[in-house]
Structure 1
Amino acid sequence: MMAEATATGSTPARVTTPRRANDRDLVDSLVTVLQERINAGEIPAGSWLRQEALAKELGVSRMPVREALRELQARGSVELIANRGARVRLPSTRDIIEVYELHGLLQGHAGEAAAELITSQQLDRLAAAEELFRQSVEDLRAADDDTTTAQRHWHEANTEFHTVIIEAGGNKHLAEMYDNLHHKVPRNLTWIALGNDVRRLEKDAAEHAGILDAIGRGDPAATRALLTEHVKRASDLLVRTVDEIGQDSPPRRR
């Protein structure tokens, strides 16, 4: 069943309104807020985004909300359906394959450079993230029905781990490309694939530990190979997950 959502999270955020309702800064801030909530799964794929409800929640007029939704459509995060409104887009399997193919190339290239260029401070950050991966496994193992803590720790670890690798690689243009790719596939889809199976999460944590070891040893070739394979496995898992979600969803009205 398709959900219908505003931008609701645990604590709805109001966006500070500039002097003009259609100010570029306001639209940008709305795009950032909505994109982050989509990425985190607070607004799940398939949810309808109602302009009036969003405007009321965020404390703005409908016009900047409309512009923000158009920008999210351009990013591929939202689809605008004639006479029906805006809906958070579930990426297709082709989207995932293509996006993760690029992820693998960028991460592999950055990882190879990071193995030679990483600083001790960045290496410490990677080690802390790797520890948080292992903590998320224990959180999930101890959880009953509420996996919120495990999910939060995994998201924090995954974001930090791969961000540090990109930073350590030292290519700012590659970093910009990598950041743009994050808008294409909501990161909560990966948690949906991992968070219902402790063994999958353990394997994911072990893969990150292996990447950390290769970088710590200063082995560029091994780092590239491990990152590329890690991203490929994530892509395969996401494709299966999206196929399963698609099978459970009602057909789209044309």
Structure 2
Amino acid sequence: MNMAPAAQEAAADRDLVDSLVDELQERINAGRIPAGTWLRQAPLAEELGVSRTPVREALRRLQAMGTVEVVANRGARVRLPSARDIIEVYELHGLLQGHAGAATATLITSEQLDRLAAAERMFREVVEELRTGGGTADAQQRWHRANTQFHTVIIEASGNKRLAEVVESLHRKVPRNLTWIALGNDIRRLEKDAAEHAAILDAIGRGDGTTARRELINHARRAADLLVRTVDEIGPGSAAQRR
């Protein structure tokens, strides 16, 4: 049965708002719109090629999701996660990754192990380049790519398809650029993070699920501690200036 014109228009409007929410969420998650950035409706509408109405609705949805906050007489801006947000997200993240790592240690294929090792190698390469003063402008992107690949392979190799959905929803709660702000200005922090990934790879490569679980949980806890300190240091608005 064909939809009435009004119903078709309403469905199209919902689809447009859905796509705007997805686009803005991805930009925020990737750090292309950093925490603290003010989201002005008119410039966004012009950039995205739409009217202000769907942009306004998309911002309302992002506010309901906790991604955006509305400040009286100022407008909407990307919300800087609170310490409590970070602790809760990374507690869950560690438990889920730890569970996946334990399973992955016995289920991982040689091809998946190669991809895990390639990601771990990329961490070490970035650290070495930055240590010797030869770091490139794309160090942040390469680090994020390595991190995404590393943890995605662990989830994938665990054989639990639902885990990927849950972990992805958690990732949206803490913009990725905050991780680089926390790590990128301190070579010792980068070295420690790379070493943690190496320990996880070693445990999985040896088929030691117990150690893999422990290393992944501890990795998430240390990341949470570091991010909480970083958020306390930079405060609202500063992340937009330190991409």
TM-score bracket, normalised by the shorter chain, equals: 0.7 to 0.9
State the secondary structure of the residue aligned to 1:80: strand
Match of 1:24 among 14, 17, 30: 14
User: Cα distance, 1:103 vs. partner?
Assistant: 0.7
> In structure 1, what residue type is equivalent to 2:144?
H
Q: 1:69 to 1:206 in 2, by over 3 A?
A: same
Equivalent positions of 1:238-253 (< 5 A) are 238-246=227-235
Q: Distance in 2 between matches of 1:21 and 1:42?
A: 29
User: Cα distance, 1:29 vs. partner?
Assistant: 2.2
CA contact 1:69–1:86 (8 Å) conserved in 2: yes
CA contact 1:135–1:153 (8 Å) conserved in 2: no
Match of 1:78 among 52, 68, 78: 68
* Corresponding position: 1:35 with 2:18: no
- Larger mean CA deviation between 183-192 and 27-36 belongs to 27-36
* Corresponding position: 1:192 with 2:171: no
> In structure 2, what residue type is equivalent to 1:38?
I
Q: Distance in 2 between matches of 1:59 and 1:221?
A: 51
Q: CA RMSD in A?
A: 2.2
Q: Which has the higher contact order (CA 8 A, sep 6+)?
A: 2
User: Cα distance, 1:202 vs. partner?
Assistant: 0.9
Q: Distance in 1 between matches of 2:78 and 2:212?
A: 35
Aligned partner of 1:111 in structure 2 is: 101
> In structure 2, what residue type is equivalent to 1:95?
D
CA contact 1:39–1:183 (8 Å) conserved in 2: yes
CA contact 2:36–2:237 (8 Å) conserved in 1: no
> In structure 2, what residue type is equivalent to 1:36?
E
Greater percentage in helix: 2
Match of 1:59 among 46, 49, 53: 49
Equivalent positions of 1:173-192 (< 5 A) are 173-192=162-181
Structure 1 unaligned regions, length at least 5? 1-18, 250-254
Q: How many residues align?
A: 231
CA contact 2:80–2:236 (8 Å) conserved in 1: no
User: Cα distance, 1:28 vs. partner?
Assistant: 2.4
Aligned partner of 1:12 in structure 2 is: none
Q: State the Cα deviation string for residues 130-186 of structure 1 (Å, max 9, x = none).
A: 111112213433558x86311111000001111111111122222211110011111
Q: Distance in 2 between matches of 1:21 and 1:69?
A: 19
Match of 1:89 among 79, 83, 108: 79
Structure 2 unaligned regions, length at least 5? 1-8, 239-243
Q: TM-score, normalised by structure 1?
A: 0.84
User: Cα distance, 1:82 vs. partner?
Assistant: 4.2
Aligned partner of 2:125 in structure 1 is: 135
Q: State the Cα deviation string for residues 35-77 of structure 1 (Å, max 9, x = none).
A: 1221222212111101111010111111221222122222221
* Corresponding position: 1:230 with 2:230: no
> In structure 1, what residue type is equivalent to 2:31?
G
Identical-pair percentage:
75
State the secondary structure of the residue aligned to 1:23: helix
Q: TM-score, normalised by structure 2?
A: 0.88
Q: Distance in 1 between matches of 2:126 and 2:15?
A: 36
Q: 1:150 to 1:139 in 2, by over 3 A?
A: farther
User: Cα distance, 1:20 vs. partner?
Assistant: 7.7
Aligned partner of 1:68 in structure 2 is: 58
User: Cα distance, 1:81 vs. partner?
Assistant: 3.1
